[in-house]
Amino acid sequence: MATTTTTPTSQRSTSLKILSQPQVKSLLDEAQQKFAQEEGVSFGAVNMHFKKPFEHTFTAPQRPHTTLLFGGLTFRHEHLLKGVFESLGYKTAVVPTPNVDAFQLGKEYGNNGQCNPTYFTVGNLVQYLQHLRDKQGMSVQEIIDSHVFLTAGACGPCRFGMYEAEYRLALRNAGFDGFRVMLFQQKGGLKQGDLEAGLKMNLDFFAGMVSAFNCGDILSEVANCIRAYETTPGATDKAASESLEFMYRVMQRKQPAELAGTTVGDLLKGKNTKAFDIAEQAVKFLDLLTSEDYIEPLRHVARKFDEVEVDRLQPKPIVKVTGEFWAQTTEGDGNFNMFRFLHSEGAEVITEPIATWLAYMLWQTKIKARDRHGLVEKADEVKWYELGKRAQLEVGYMKKRAIAKVADTIFRREYSRMVEALGHIAHEIVDMDEMERLGHGFYHTRSEGGEGHLEVSKNIYYSHKGLAHMVLSLKPFGCMPSTQSDGAQSAVVNRYKEMIFLPIETSGEGEINAHSRVQMALGEAKAKAKREFAEVLSGLPYSLEELKAYVDAHPEMKRPMYQFPRHNPRVVGTGANFALHVAERMQADGVKPKQVRDAAE
């Protein structure tokens, strides 16, 4: 057995005295100097104290001559956000969708070992600033003084929580040291100084931003649903492009509701500033709930989409895309252009709306209040007989729950209004309590990071409820939260034998391999959709040719906004469900099957 020896205190003291003697110290210094010269190292003192980099602020006086840059979402969301910011008086520019060149710049100027969303987004900003410098002739100082970048941040357990540091490092290495980066935190709002902020985080800002998110979500889903069945290639993209530009102009011209300038507002402002502020917030809130500033334009967009002719009587696999937030949202090299690839392979794609993430954050607020109910920071603060304090704590809990519930209800209501205005084709926001129930047995719903349990829950929800033939999970290479979800997914797939689930890790390279893997899984989903379509047709009294002839005779059924129910939850595909509906309508109209007519003749 090994024994550990220790140096007695008296012996250590003696050694220290010897080392402090002038002769010994001189010999040590001489040896150190010789070693430094031979090996090229320095023994100078190093200040290890960390100092946070100086942050250049963005203040209100700078607003007129400062361009607000943002990016990282789909081009639809970004274009609509641009309209919202411009309506609020900001100069804006959208950083283009990142490409592989941006990824390489991120690797060149950033740290090693980052995930590809970090490389893509950081490199994309550097690429845009280089374009301003090299192509538009702006000096570096001019770029720094006249631009500010707004991006999402988090305190997550992965590298997403280091975005701010990565942006600063890459910008400094690329020659743009001092460029302003503002983080919009998932928790805690915007990180700015005590000066009057250049970006006003008020109700107008948040309402406009959420409206842009919702509108972008629904436009994307509607376009994907129609594109899969269009009879004229490119017709959906044309309608989507025109509709996006139309909604951008609508959001750009939207004027916030104001109490100032009215008789009541002037009276209140002159007597009681606080009462005026409360009243103005109430006016803005009521305007949000009752106005049709976005609803009526979306009805116009629905009519534009309805001009596209579709043929739904064909079996196509429905693929639900989930995964890590950035990888499942972006439309470009960051996820191997996966949405376009799926469409080219004959799939109907259901993208993941940003609305799900917002609903998840609202649910977390509610669930944390519930989990902490009855707990007190210090156990001895409230005695059993102090009924007043206990009542106060209970009121505080009920208030938190009520605020979260009201916010969630209003958010879902506004989303539903947009869904209905745009033809009621897009899906509603999933129920977060149901997501908790479905996923908790496989992935603890209090584990935060990434989308938490949602990746597992959505796989079960869309597969088991008959909403998709296949679930495709996109995530960055080495993404910690999504990797944990993949571990749990093995148990999910083992429980639900019929589901087709494929996780794909994305990076700056490897596109061919990823597409190949998707093709293999998609082949299984296609076979599943074709079997389902054939089984439905075999149970109908009409042939496929008879169904198509009836649709040709009723052109309204070729319109994308034509509504038809889905009665059988076990039938997933749009084509199979539409065939059931057409047959039902033919029977209601008294159309006899061809074989019956032939027999009668």
HSE at residue 392, side-chain half, CA atoms within 13 A, is 7
H-helix or E-strand spanning residue 542: none
H-helix or E-strand spanning residue 359: helix 354-371
pLDDT, one tens digit per residue, over 204-236 is 888 999 999 999 999 999 999 999 999 999 999
Q: Domain boundary residue among 136, 163, 191?
A: 191
Q: Domain boundary residue among 169, 191, 213?
A: 191
pLDDT, one tens digit per residue, over 338-370 is 999 999 999 999 999 999 999 998 999 889 888
Place of tokens 């805690």: 188
Read out DSSP for 319-335? EEEEESHHHHH--SGGG
Is residue 498 domain-resident? no
pLDDT, one tens digit per residue, over 428-459 is 999 999 999 999 999 999 888 778 899 999 99
More confident residue, 115 or 133: 133
**Average predicted confidence (pLDDT) for the chain:** 85
Is residue 427 domain-resident? no
pLDDT, one tens digit per residue, over 288-317 is 888 899 999 999 999 999 999 999 999 999
Bridge partners of 321? 472
pTM of the model: 0.84
Strand 67-70 and strand 91-94: pairing?
A: parallel
Is residue 164 domain-resident? yes
Is residue 435 domain-resident? no
User: Domain of 176?
Assistant: 95-191
Helix, strand, coil % over all residues of the chain, rounded to 5: 60, 10, 35
Which of 35-49, 93-107, 345-359, 367-381 shows the lowest mean pLDDT across its residues?
35-49
| pLDDT at residue 325 is higher than 90 | no
pLDDT band at 195 (very low <50, low <70, confident <90, very high): very low
Residue range 155-166: mean pLDDT, rounded: 61
Q: What percent of the chain has pLDDT over 90?
A: 50
Is residue 592 domain-resident? yes
Q: Which two tokens stand for residue 275?
A: 């009462």
pLDDT band at 194 (very low <50, low <70, confident <90, very high): very low
Is residue 530 domain-resident? no
| pLDDT at residue 154 is higher than 80 | no
CB 310 within 8 A of CB 52: no
Number of domains in the chain: 2
Is residue 595 domain-resident? yes
| pLDDT at residue 201 is higher than 60 | yes
Is residue 581 domain-resident? yes
Q: Domain boundary residue among 167, 191, 215?
A: 191
